[in-house]
Amino acid sequence: MAYQRRIITQSIRLTGSPVAAATHVVWRAPVACKIVKVHGLRSGGAAAAINAKIGAVDVLAADLTAGNGVFTSGTPTGAAGEMNAGQVLSLEVASGDATTVVIQADIAIDADAYDLA
């Protein structure tokens, strides 16, 4: 049986009047892996700047402006998205005044990692 790299997604949906700038822990890496994309969507208000963090370090070099009704995506450069086992992933609203914000991070786990079940 052939094994392939797996992609999982961690996400958060936030609402408010407006959504407050904050960082929210969403996942702890059980094995070494890599954030390959960060996506953001907003509704209401005028803007929402988002990012993902591994520990206290931003995954994207610059905050991503979440799309209004459509997902906007950003890709980490270099080793920025690499996570070691045990590290924590947080999703962040850095600024803005949207009433709903959805943030997603796509995470690649190598084929040689044991099943997570």
For the chain, domain boundaries: 6-109
**pLDDT tens digit string along 15-69?**
998 999 999 999 999 999 999 999 999 998 888 999 999 999 999 999 999 989 8
Structure-token match 């950003």, residue found: 74
**pLDDT tens digit string along 107-116?**
999 866 555 5
CA 13 – CA 104 distance, rounded (Å): 9
Annotation: CATH topology of 6-109: Jelly Rolls (2.60.120)
Query: Which of 23, 15, 81 lies closest to 44 in space, CA to CA?
Result: 15
**Residue-level pLDDT at 117:** 47
**pLDDT tens digit string along 84-108?**
999 999 999 999 999 999 999 999 9
